[in-house]
Amino acid sequence: MPDKRKVYSVEFYPPRSPEGVAKLRAARTELAPLKPAFFSVTFGAGGSTREGTLSTVLEIRDEGLPAAPHISCIGGSRESLRDVLAQYRSHGIRHLVALRGDLPSGAADVGDFRYASDLVGFIRQETGDWFHIDVAAYPEYHPQARSSGDDLTNFVRKVEAGADSAITQYFFNADAYWHFVEACAARGVTVPIVAGIMPILSASGLARFSDNCGAEIPRWIRKKLEGFGDDTASVRAFGLDVVTALCAGLIEDGVPGLHFYTLNSASLTAKIWQRLGL
Ligand SMILES: Cc1cc2nc3c(=O)[nH]c(=O)nc-3n(C[C@H](O)[C@H](O)[C@H](O)COP(=O)(O)OP(=O)(O)OC[C@H]3O[C@@H](n4cnc5c(N)ncnc54)[C@H](O)[C@@H]3O)c2cc1C
């Protein structure tokens, strides 16, 4: 029996074309019957997707589904972020995922906030307890972190600044997740740390993504994926087995929830969800 106290959620990005809007609608239609706790929608650096994030969130809510926009602070001013918060608030949005974000290459102006902990502090200062705030966590450590110890300290800062819960970067190595959770507990962190899950849609896409965000693809998985070449069906079938087994193990060991990075494509997330009986 699935444990209803666990939080199972999914993530989308704002579509950039009419085809993308239609694709995302189809993804929502497929995922809605599974009743995710919420659908989150990403936010581009410097507010580049600001309107797209909001309109996607509002469209999801109009369908009667719970939605949480992301907000990122890099490249943004206090004023612009105050506006985004006011906009979210005026629509009755109560749940945010608060991030630093990454500056596009070549951009020099970091804006008024350097780190996500500054953003969380700002949100609390401006809006009190209005929002439930999720922040990002990195079981395999953030690629820019000076050391694992520093990164842990910086994660704790976000919780101390007022985060209510966290969602991790995706990982395939459950030991890294549990090690991180234990290290957080030893530092007095009590907020739930939900595991981010990446279904495997394509081997090359996963490799590219992982290089950028510092999530490790274990050698045996990488080798198997390379061996399938262009055989997408085999990549996905293997990926489904690997990711379902990862999720099943995490649930058995007491993870507080799973957050699926859907990349606006529902089928693999839906299959994993059904296999797990969530
Ligand atoms: C669940 C999830 C959702 C995401 N959604 C989005 C999104 O919608 N839009 C987007 O652009 N990106 C998104 N990202 C990516 C994220 O923005 C990047 O990983 C970014 O590089 C770091 O963001 P952060 O919020 O973790 O930053 P931070 O927590 O600020 O950490 C960034 C780096 O700075 C270091 N650091 C933090 N505080 C300090 C300090 N006081 N002194 C020194 N160093 C410090 C940390 O150790 C880390 O190396 C998401 C990531 C996750 C895991």
pLDDT tens across 49-91, in order? Answer: 889 999 999 999 999 999 999 999 999 999 999 999 999 999 9
28/26 Cα distance (integer angstroms): 5
Please choose from 142, 189, 213 the residue to mutate so as to test ligand 1's pocket, defined by most ligand atoms within 8 A of CB. 142
Q: Which residue has the tokens 């050391």?
A: 147
Return the closest-CA partner of residue 239 out of 202, 211, 209: 202
pLDDT of residue 47: 76
Which amino acid is located at 36 in the chain?
Answer: P
The response to whether residue 144 sits with its C-beta less than 6 Å from ligand 1 reads yes
Of 227, 223, 265, 272, the closest CA to residue 247 belongs to 272
> What pLDDT score does 4 carry?
67
- Tell whether ligand 1 has an atom less than 6 A from the beta carbon of residue 97: yes
11, 30, 59, 140: the catalytic one is 11
Contacts of 250 (CB under 8 A, 6+ apart): 174, 177, 195, 258
pLDDT higher than threshold 70 for residue 211: yes
In sequence order, the 6+-apart residues with CB closer than 8 A to the CB of 219 are none
d(CA 194, CA 30): 23
Rg (CA), the chain: 18
Q: Which of 44-48, 147-151, 201-205, 228-232 has the lowest mean pLDDT?
A: 44-48
Residue with CA closest to ligand 1 atom 53: 169
Q: How far is the CA of 133 from the centre of ligand 1 (A)?
A: 14
CB distance 23 to 264 below 8 Å: yes
Residue 14, phi then psi, degrees to nearest 5: -70, 130
| Residues in CB range of 269: below 8 A, 6 or more apart | 10, 31, 199, 260, 262
Whether 11 is a known active-site residue: answer yes
